[in-house]
Chain A
């Protein structure tokens, strides 16, 4: 194979599968934390992203917790209503009560709600797909997804979809926005998790960091799915810097690199600034008693 040949690129779905097979990341240092709560939270997280039925043994394998600890905690979580238990299979899954765990506060008036009309307008204008995403470990989780109402593009990205962080334009933009020491730590994690592809990945990330410095956005050319290009920018909200990203993805023949850089990049940045000012207006002022 000649050196210049395009190397096969992993598709989103393959990467998703790979991500799911990967062992759970090491839990954060437990210093100053409440251990039983930390473990309970890890068990709840073991059911994401699909809420499949899991036995205590399977949960133990996913969380790296001792089996007796897992059975004790699944019993407690079932008693509290956050897990349901199937007597016929001896397996657990999340119960509807997990929606009371902060979800409704999230689902209400916040950046997601504010972003929706702005993203929808762009999706319609460009007849493609736009996304608001935030980081979860090595994935960018889609919080809002707007498809063009003309419905010509059918990328399989929905709310809750996970894009592999270092291959997504939004993930790269997030790395670009990090403070140097923070980025250093993230890159170490990436190199450990993507050992096999690290050489290529490093080149990709270095180029993306240079692009971010120069322009404030990152573009990706067929990194997640062949035939699809993407672009991402970071949204900074007061008190929660670089927690959210905005992205646009579309077919590479309609969104070649030059068009993304010249036309779409400035548009996406403008939407990001607009969103930042809207969020800032809603934030309670520091020191305000209520």
Chain B
């Protein structure tokens, strides 16, 4: 069965930040809970863009604080750019 956007966001997050996938929850905050330094945040945004074949506004993307908010933002971008 195809992974949902939320599952894919969590997998990419875990891989990029080298954290246990079990620890990546909707409520997890990238910086405080998952330890994303500023450089890693930039890489993470790039990874989401590549994973979902979307372009995100960098200022907006970097202002997203939690995994759940990232799922919502990416879902919106996917919808706008791919009509899904």
Decide whether A and B are members of one complex. no
Which residues of B pack against A, CB within 8 Å? none
